[in-house]
């Protein structure tokens, strides 16, 4: 399970139950991130289209949503993982940038990442194995990183897991068809056919995923970018290229309103955090155009950084810890009979 800010890991059972009780056969996950929610839908027999702007998310969506396990030769995957696990460690860009100039990983693991990533490029680029192998490498690197789960900084002292050897594991493909789209949700929805259910989980604040997970972007793109600052972020993190209106306070509400308006879905499910820019009433108002609206409030464990407080570069606490939990508003909107059924199913669970 990759560490990912805003991941809906604990909401997956509820969201899956909502999708199943709606009777949906097709679904759209417009901000798919780790693809956890999309996977939950797919495992319950829905045809899912997963969308995100992040390159690593596209790798996850190709692996778990687009690939149909029943049509893949598992032996090829197992053999490729064994081949990569045996490649000779070799320091390259990754080791220099993320183990020496910055200390996100131990060099012994960085050298393995470099060698494995080069081998994936050379041997598997235009095969079906490319994405599952990359997904496996990202997950393996995540298990031995030295961060709190975002890549804006690394820990002052090595996390104990960073000492473990990096190990590739089978990413575990899922039976069934699906679709992965790399793109801006606002643009993509205009091109897509109507679906039964759309799930919307936009970013909640000004912190961009492109900056928070710049190492995964670089590992996927493998473009050896110029970097800057102590966190050694990609040079293009400071440009406007990858900015999302969902990370801007003035642009967020119009963008979400536009998306709700444009998405062709019978029912929508929107999750949004109570510490963010839009409150419960505003969310309800925004969704009214879809029909009946119900809200389920779920208590949620906050991101660890928010719990321990804010520290400066010398490791001195400069901000107070916040609450340990916050509330996730899960807003359901659509035809009255369907929304009522979904709401009742959630209440009786």
Is 37 or 77 the residue whose CB approaches ligand SAM more closely? 37
Q: Of these, 19, 46, 48, 51, which contacts ligand SAM (CB under 6 A)?
A: 51
Distance set, CA 162 to CA 143, 148, 229 (Å): 8, 12, 22
Nearer to ligand SAM, 165 or 183 (CB): 183
Q: Total binding residues for ligand SAM by CB under 6 A?
A: 24
Rounded Cα distance between 60 and 331, Å, is 26
**By the rule CB under 6 A, 176 interacts with ligand SAM:** no
37 binds ligand SAM (CB under 6 A): yes
| 8 or 294: CB nearest ligand SAM | 8
Cβ distance 149 to 228 under 8 Å? Answer: no
CB of 29 to ligand SAM, least distance (A): 7
Contacts of 122 (CB under 8 A, 6+ apart): none
- Judged by CB under 6 A, the residue of 40, 41, 52, 219 near ligand SAM is 52
Does 8 bind ligand SAM (CB under 6 A)? Our answer is yes
102 near ligand SAM, rule: CB under 6 A: no
Cα–Cα distance measured from residue 41 to residue 19, given in angstroms and rounded to the nearest whole number: 7
Q: Which helix (DSSP H) or strand (DSSP E) does residue 164 occupy?
A: none
Distance (Å, whole) CA 34 – CA 29? 11
Q: Which is nearer to ligand SAM, 8 or 290 (CB)?
A: 8
Q: How far is the CB of 7 from ligand SAM (least distance, A)?
A: 4
Min dist. Cβ of residue 99 to ligand SAM (A): 25
31 binds ligand SAM (CB under 6 A): yes
- Segment 225-244, which members bind ligand SAM (CB under 6 A)? 244
Cβ proximity of 268 and 334 under 8 Å: yes
- Alpha carbons 38 and 330: distance in angstroms, whole number: 16
Spatial CB neighbours of 166, under 8 Å, sequence gap ≥ 6: 109, 112, 113, 140, 141, 143, 144
DSSP class of 171: -
Give the pair of three-digit tokens for residue 324: 């340990």
Binding site for ligand SAM (CB under 6 A): 4, 6-8, 31-34, 36-37, 51-54, 57, 184-186, 201-203, 209, 244, 246
């Amino acid at each position: 399970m990759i560490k990912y800010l805003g991941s809906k890991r604990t909401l997956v059972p509820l969201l899956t139950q909502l999708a199943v009780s709606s009777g949906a056969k097709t679904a759209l996950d417009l901000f798919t991130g780790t693809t956890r929610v999309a996977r939950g839908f797919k495992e319950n027999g829905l045809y899912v289209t997963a969308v995100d702007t992040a390159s690593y998310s596209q790798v996850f969506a190709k692996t778990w949503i687009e690939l149909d396990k029943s049509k893949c030769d598992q032996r090829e995957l197992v053999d490729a993982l064994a081949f990569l696990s045996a490649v000779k460690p070799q320091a390259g860009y990754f080791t220099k940038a993320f183990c020496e100039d910055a200390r996100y990983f131990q060099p012994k693991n960085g050298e393995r990442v470099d060698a494995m990533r080069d081998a994936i490029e050379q041997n598997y680029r235009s095969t079906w194995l490319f994405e599952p192998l990359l997904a496996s490498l990202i997950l393996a690197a995540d298990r031995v990183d030295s961060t709190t789960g975002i890549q804006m900084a690394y820990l002052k002292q090595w996390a104990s897991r960073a000492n473990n050897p990096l190990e590739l594991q089978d990413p575990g493909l899922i039976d069934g068809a699906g679709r992965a789209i790399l793109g801006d949700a606002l643009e993509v929805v205009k091109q897509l056919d109507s679906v039964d259910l759309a799930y919307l989980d936009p970013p909640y604040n000004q912190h961009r995923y492109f900056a928070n997970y710049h190492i995964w972007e670089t590992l996927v793109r493998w473009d050896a970018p110029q970097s800057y600052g102590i966190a050694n972020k990609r040079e293009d993190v400071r440009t406007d290229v990858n900015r999302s209106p969902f990370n801007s306070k003035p642009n967020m509400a119009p963008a979400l309103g536009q998306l709700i308006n444009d998405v062709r879905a019978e029912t929508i499910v929107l999750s949004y955090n109570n510490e963010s820019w839009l409150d419960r009433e505003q969310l309800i108002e925004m969704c009214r155009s879809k029909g009946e609206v119900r809200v389920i409030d779920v208590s949620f464990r906050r991101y660890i950084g928010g719990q321990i407080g804010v520290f400066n570069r010398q490791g001195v606490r400069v901000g107070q810890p916040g609450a340990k939990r916050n509330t996730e508003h899960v807003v359901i909107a659509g035809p009255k009979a369907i929304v009522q059924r979904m709401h009742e199913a959630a209440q009786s669970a």
